[in-house]
Structure 1
Amino acid sequence: MPPHESILGRAALGTASALGSVCRWCVRRRFELAPAAASTGLTALTWLHHASGVGIGEHVVYGLATAAAGALAGGGLKYKHKGIAAAGAGGLTVLADAWIGAALGPSVPSLIASALVTGGAYVAYVPWLVKARQQQLALQVKAAKTGVTGEGLGTSTRAPGLTGATPEGTALMQALVAMLSVPAVDVTALEYTRFGWRAVIVLPPGRDTAPQKVIARRDQLATNLGLPGKLRLTRGEQDNELVVYLYQSDPLASAIPWPGPSTTTCTEPAVLGMDAFGEPVLVPMLYNHVLIGGATDNGKSGVQSVLIAYAVACEDAEVVLIDMKPGAVEFGPWRRNALALADSPARAMQALTLVQREVKRRGALLAELGEKKWVPGKHGPAWFVFIDELAELIRQVPEAAKLIESLLQVARFVGITLVCATQSPSNRVFGGTTDGRQQYQVRIGLGAKESTTSNLIFGPGAYGDGWCLDELDLPGKFLRWDREHQVPVDARAFWMTDDDVAAASHRYAREETESEAREHPAASPDPEDDPTPPAPPTPPSGGPGGGRPILRAIPTFPDGSEIPDERVEALWRAIEKAGPKGVTYNDLVALELPDFRARSSVDAYVLKWRRKGWVEEAGKQGRAMAYRTAPRLPVVNTPTPKSAEQVTVGG
């Protein structure tokens, strides 16, 4: 077994090595910690010496060394040699601290001596550090103006205050000081991703050092940084924070295939694509109007296709499509999935008028039910109105501006959402009298050639905050803004091929005719020698502008008013189906209809229908009263009196 002194010696050497590593790290990473780290390490070593035992010989050595340092300090003061006096005074305080620690060990006097030594060290160290920083910052600024990089200056000239905890942090701080002439406050966060890294920089206060100023000089910062990759700058959560993204490889370089619809209810957000961090981009469309902007050939139609596919796959949603391109080339493939498809100015106005009437009808229904918000599935389906080329619609139909402005303001609470795409989303698009962009709670910006497009889509000053659409270099790349996402992050929309669109349209078609549904048509018979002339076509009806009719039959009450939703219709059909014998409350509850599984919920509607004369008592079944629908009165066509005809014709 090794002797006790050998074990203590090895323990002391190991501890000293560890403390030395900590001190070296502190000196390399944070120069401000160097005096405190040195003083703490010295005190800890003297305590270890005390633990191993201090004899007369060690005390004699400590005393002689302390006396020599004091004599050196006295000689420097006598002969007025500043350097010798400072070295002697420093050695005197350090040796006195070491002697006290070795003699007394962990104790209050030793801690007091260590604190005094640390304070004295900072008294001499801080002025030197400030002066060195000022000189080295001036040297770096002068070198940056002449085109010399930090590597060309050499490591000996790098300012201590410009050294970060990582090489990326150091490069950032040195690049910023070369551009702004003042150092950054700190790098508060640096995260590595599969494609590069992200850092948050706290900038010093000042108008010329604001994040907007740095973002406007992004190219200069990228040159000063000198690192490979694509640099993106955005403003952070605080006013003086700058978020720096460096993509060493582009995660959005290739198209992302559409994976299919992710939900069957519009109460869940749509998944539009993926962002640069590999996270899905969620777009909350219900109760949130959506604005899609960007230059041509940058993917607006692709974004709309993904959102339309989401809407038609939802069981509690319907779509209305307005495509101002001739022939409805963008929305035409979704014809079978829409309540209405407008492809001309006249039909567009009729479609918007249809939506406006629906808003009023739903508002009246909510007022009758005493509720404030339309809930899909409870009151009826949500409507999503897609408008392609909004600016073209306003140019061709100026009166549509007021109608769209009204819908943007009042349609949300009744579950009707507008999704508008345009190349120029300015106030001129809305007739020049108001800025309708304020009504869009979700904004999607695709690539653009000019920086002003960013401000048109996301609001004044957006480009200075990092919403730089001119940096999106591929179709389908976009920036998304909503209440929960107010920091720009690159993303790319899913890519739907023509086959994907056709398959989704076929799968979620609202209703197909026999010819559309037939996959293998029978062979056509030979033409007759003398065929019968075809009958003239039946005039179109039902849809906006006399186009495609609304395919689903609308159930109505006896007075002709529309039954509000499927749940109420199910209760009404159950009473109708009972026939003259009627049905009791208990029988209706036993059917377990949605929202009608209690007597109170059934009674509310039956009582209202009795007051209107649509339901009447059918007699008792046991102890319970049964109810049935009242017979509908036939409509009598009253002939017009001759006197009335004379009045209308007369002048």
Structure 2
Amino acid sequence: MCRWCARRRYELAPAAASLTLTSLSWAHHLGGVGLGEHLAYGGVTAAATAATVLALKNKHKTFATAAGSAAAVVGDTWIGASLGPSVPSLIATGLVIGGAYVPYMRWLTRERQARLKLSVDAAKAGVGVEPLGTGTHTGLTGASPEETRLMQALVAMLSIPAVDVTALEHTRFGWRAVVTLPAGRDTAPSKVIARREQLAANIGMPGKLRLAKGEADNELVVCMYETDPLAKTLAWPGPSTATCQEPAVLGMDAFGQPVLVELLYNHVLIGGASDNGKSSLQSVLIAYVAACEDAEAVLIDLKPGAVELGPWGPCALALADTPAKALHTLEWVWAEVQRRGEYMRDLGAKQGKPVKKWIPGEHGPALFVFIDELAELMRQLPGAAKLLESILQVARFTGITLVCATQSPSNRVFGGNTDGRQQYQVRIGLGAKESTTANLIFGPGAYGDGWCLDELEGPGYFLRWDRNHQVPVVSRAFFMTDDEIGAATHRYARADTVEGREHPQDVPDPDDDPTPPTPTPPTPSGPGGGRPVLRAVPTFPDGSPIADERHLALWKAIEEAGQEGITIDALVALGLPEFNARSSVNGPMSQWRNKGWVVEAGKKGRAMKFRLAPRPAMPQQQTAAAAASAEEETAACPATL
């Protein structure tokens, strides 16, 4: 009854409390009051009176008021229990009520003045606030202490009450609520998120506050974590599935739920600053692919030594660690897209119904291409941008998925022609120092919607976006130690690289120093194919690979001219990519002439002709060593079928 009066009619609160206790004391009188109850009433009254005198003596005003009120209330209850419904009892109740209203009226006056100011501010913002004591939601008192603190904190920060607080629920880590904010530029969820520290201080409750934009434009998700499930490093629990048709488990979110990612048919973009866990997160995904019986991994890592993805080489169909291998690998992937498309067309014609999607296990293994530092790949292979765009646009239906990690996911990374980010159905953002990184990964305006990567606390923390998760929720990825990576690599290594591929049940550790059998190269067969053989890598006279497709086309045009040579104008007339003017051809030609790779071959009219300089003869031993090196490089990476 007191709570109802406090929310409905503030003026009646002291009278309602006193009358309620008096009624209960009369009920106690009717049931009989013994000597023990009288002693209890008297003891409590005496103790409260003594506490009041002591507080007044020590000038503790608040404590004196509380103790005096307790003494008056207990004394009134004692009189009601002793005399029952009578005039003395009513007189005592009236005196208590009158005494309570002396301080209460002063508080009520201040509250009405503050409420009036709040109503004026709300009216200016277009939010309806009902008068004090007459509405179901006063804007300052909620249905629970958490709701009350939250509503009062928002009023203190925005000077305008929230429209509504709904879906407040307690979890095993704290509590969560959805707040409907009033309309206005300064009351948008993005503005509140930017002032998270101030709101946390206003709430004044223990725990960690996290804010996010809700499903509606004016909704704010407020989460208070009394215990943080992400505070400790999350150990990798091991593979969770044996098929890529089930989602991968990346880690745990702030609500203690596993983070599931549908990897099949969904390209993945992983972005964030260095040393924030991109490679570790990729390791979790590679381990997922390695454990799947219906999937194969292809790795591209142009860091010197392939230090990030190189350890997973035994589990992969191919590992490209040089620009030439990377280019040939992407060409092979594109050829595989075309081959699978033709296979599905022929299979549909044979079955009498179209086959529109590659099903792993039925048509062949799914292919997951992991690229570490996509920006570095584009810098070293600018000609691969269009090839990568084509794979992103049309490869999904053939069961081929790209998983790309980069520190700068802008359209320049994709060659500057189109924004390839639109093709990534799953985007994962790790910690970053600048707010603009969130907009580069998740799209324009993402930072204002709560995708704040600069607020993530350390390595492994990330935000995930896909079709089913469009509200930012802080998560943390599993961490794989070097020993766990080594054990997983040994366990799921391909049969043509080490002893075997055991999956997925636990197996005993192998004997020390086992004798590996002689590997038998697989025979390409069936729709899934096998490891194809690389063609020879074209090189300059100094042995360096010709990785740029444009330079390779220009070099071949001069080579095909033979000893007769070819003029600059004739090279321009061939219409080679990006060599449609003399100025564009003169650049590489000058470099090659300075290095002695291209020499003059006479004149044609007034124009000078050029040809390739003859390559110096190599000793037989060096030739054999070079052939062995080329053969070893050929066996390490796939190329165009």
TM-score normalised by the chain length of structure 2: 0.60
Q: Determine helix, strand or coil for the equivalent of 1:399.
A: helix
Aligned counterparts, 1:15-414, within 5 A: 23-30=1-8, 135-136=114-115, 138=117, 160-370=138-348, 371-414=355-398
The AA in structure 1 aligned to 2:247 is P
Question: Do the aligned residues in 2 keep the contact of 1:441 with 1:482 (CA within 8 Å)?
Answer: yes
Determine the C-alpha separation between the residues in 2 that align with 1:24 and 1:513.
Answer: 77
Residue matched to 2:39: none
Q: 1:438 aligns with which of 422, 430, 434?
A: 422
Change (3 A) 1:399 1:363: same
Residue matched to 1:587: none
Determine the C-alpha separation between the residues in 2 that align with 1:130 and 1:411.
Answer: 71
- Measure how far apart 1:536 and its partner are: 5.2
Determine the C-alpha separation between the residues in 2 that align with 1:184 and 1:514.
Answer: 64
Aligned counterparts, 1:369-518, within 5 A: 369-370=347-348, 371-512=355-496
Q: Determine helix, strand or coil for the equivalent of 1:188.
A: strand
Residue matched to 1:520: 513
Residue matched to 2:577: none
Q: Determine helix, strand or coil for the equivalent of 2:382.
A: coil
Determine the C-alpha separation between the residues in 2 that align with 1:401 and 1:514.
Answer: 34
Q: Determine helix, strand or coil for the equivalent of 1:231.
A: strand
Determine the C-alpha separation between the residues in 2 that align with 1:313 and 1:447.
Answer: 28
- Measure how far apart 1:162 and its partner are: 0.8
Which deviates further from its counterpart, 438-447 or 171-180? 171-180
**Alignment RMSD, CA only?**
3.3
- Measure how far apart 1:451 and its partner are: 1.2
Question: Do the aligned residues in 1 keep the contact of 2:251 with 2:475 (CA within 8 Å)?
Answer: yes
Determine the C-alpha separation between the residues in 2 that align with 1:130 and 1:280.
Answer: 52
Find the structure with the greater CA-based Rg.
Answer: 1
Q: Determine helix, strand or coil for the equivalent of 1:256.
A: coil
Question: Do the aligned residues in 2 keep the contact of 1:311 with 1:317 (CA within 8 Å)?
Answer: yes
Determine the C-alpha separation between the residues in 2 that align with 1:241 and 1:32.
Answer: 30
Determine the C-alpha separation between the residues in 1 that align with 2:395 and 2:116.
Answer: 59
Q: Determine helix, strand or coil for the equivalent of 1:495.
A: coil
Q: Determine helix, strand or coil for the equivalent of 1:475.
A: coil
- Measure how far apart 1:27 and its partner are: 2.1
The AA in structure 2 aligned to 1:520 is D
Q: Determine helix, strand or coil for the equivalent of 1:297.
A: coil
- Measure how far apart 1:351 and its partner are: 0.6
Question: Do the aligned residues in 2 keep the contact of 1:162 with 1:174 (CA within 8 Å)?
Answer: yes
Q: Determine helix, strand or coil for the equivalent of 2:335.
A: helix
Question: Do the aligned residues in 1 keep the contact of 2:200 with 2:209 (CA within 8 Å)?
Answer: yes
Q: Determine helix, strand or coil for the equivalent of 2:339.
A: helix
Q: Determine helix, strand or coil for the equivalent of 1:375.
A: coil
Residue matched to 1:546: 634
Determine the C-alpha separation between the residues in 1 that align with 2:8 and 2:489.
Answer: 62
The AA in structure 2 aligned to 1:539 is A
Determine the C-alpha separation between the residues in 2 that align with 1:514 and 1:298.
Answer: 32
Q: Determine helix, strand or coil for the equivalent of 1:438.
A: helix
Q: Determine helix, strand or coil for the equivalent of 1:282.
A: strand
Q: Determine helix, strand or coil for the equivalent of 1:274.
A: strand
Q: Determine helix, strand or coil for the equivalent of 1:208.
A: helix
Determine the C-alpha separation between the residues in 2 that align with 1:209 and 1:171.
Answer: 18
Q: Determine helix, strand or coil for the equivalent of 1:189.
A: strand
- Measure how far apart 1:189 and its partner are: 1.7
- Measure how far apart 1:550 and its partner are: 6.2
Change (3 A) 1:33 1:317: farther
Change (3 A) 1:360 1:219: same
In the alignment, structure 1 segments of 5+ residues that lack a partner are: 1-22, 46-128, 143-158, 523-532, 552-561, 563-651
Question: Do the aligned residues in 1 keep the contact of 2:328 with 2:638 (CA within 8 Å)?
Answer: no
- Measure how far apart 1:139 and its partner are: 7.8
Change (3 A) 1:164 1:510: same
Determine the C-alpha separation between the residues in 2 that align with 1:454 and 1:333.
Answer: 30
Question: Do the aligned residues in 2 keep the contact of 1:540 with 1:549 (CA within 8 Å)?
Answer: no
Cα deviations across residues 214-239 of structure 1 (Å, max 9, x unaligned)? 11222222232223332211111122
Determine the C-alpha separation between the residues in 2 that align with 1:235 and 1:520.
Answer: 56
Determine the C-alpha separation between the residues in 2 that align with 1:359 and 1:229.
Answer: 51
The AA in structure 1 aligned to 2:446 is A
The AA in structure 2 aligned to 1:243 is V
Determine the C-alpha separation between the residues in 2 that align with 1:463 and 1:379.
Answer: 42
Change (3 A) 1:402 1:130: farther
Determine the C-alpha separation between the residues in 2 that align with 1:457 and 1:396.
Answer: 22
Determine the C-alpha separation between the residues in 2 that align with 1:34 and 1:541.
Answer: 93
The AA in structure 2 aligned to 1:218 is R
Determine the C-alpha separation between the residues in 1 that align with 2:9 and 2:334.
Answer: 69
Question: Do the aligned residues in 2 keep the contact of 1:312 with 1:318 (CA within 8 Å)?
Answer: yes
Question: Do the aligned residues in 2 keep the contact of 1:26 with 1:34 (CA within 8 Å)?
Answer: no
Q: Determine helix, strand or coil for the equivalent of 2:333.
A: helix
Change (3 A) 1:132 1:546: same
- Measure how far apart 1:191 and its partner are: 1.7
Aligned counterparts, 1:7-22, within 5 A: none
Change (3 A) 1:506 1:188: same
Q: How many residues of Structure 1 are paired with residues of Structure 2 in the alignment?
A: 415
Residue matched to 1:112: none
Change (3 A) 1:430 1:130: farther
Residue matched to 1:611: none
Determine the C-alpha separation between the residues in 2 that align with 1:195 and 1:250.
Answer: 7
Determine the C-alpha separation between the residues in 2 that align with 1:498 and 1:514.
Answer: 19
The AA in structure 1 aligned to 2:513 is H
- Measure how far apart 1:276 and its partner are: 1.6
Determine the C-alpha separation between the residues in 2 that align with 1:402 and 1:515.
Answer: 39
Q: Determine helix, strand or coil for the equivalent of 2:185.
A: coil
Question: Do the aligned residues in 1 keep the contact of 2:319 with 2:637 (CA within 8 Å)?
Answer: no
Change (3 A) 1:239 1:515: closer
Percent identity between matched residues is 69
Question: Do the aligned residues in 1 keep the contact of 2:272 with 2:406 (CA within 8 Å)?
Answer: yes
The AA in structure 2 aligned to 1:337 is C
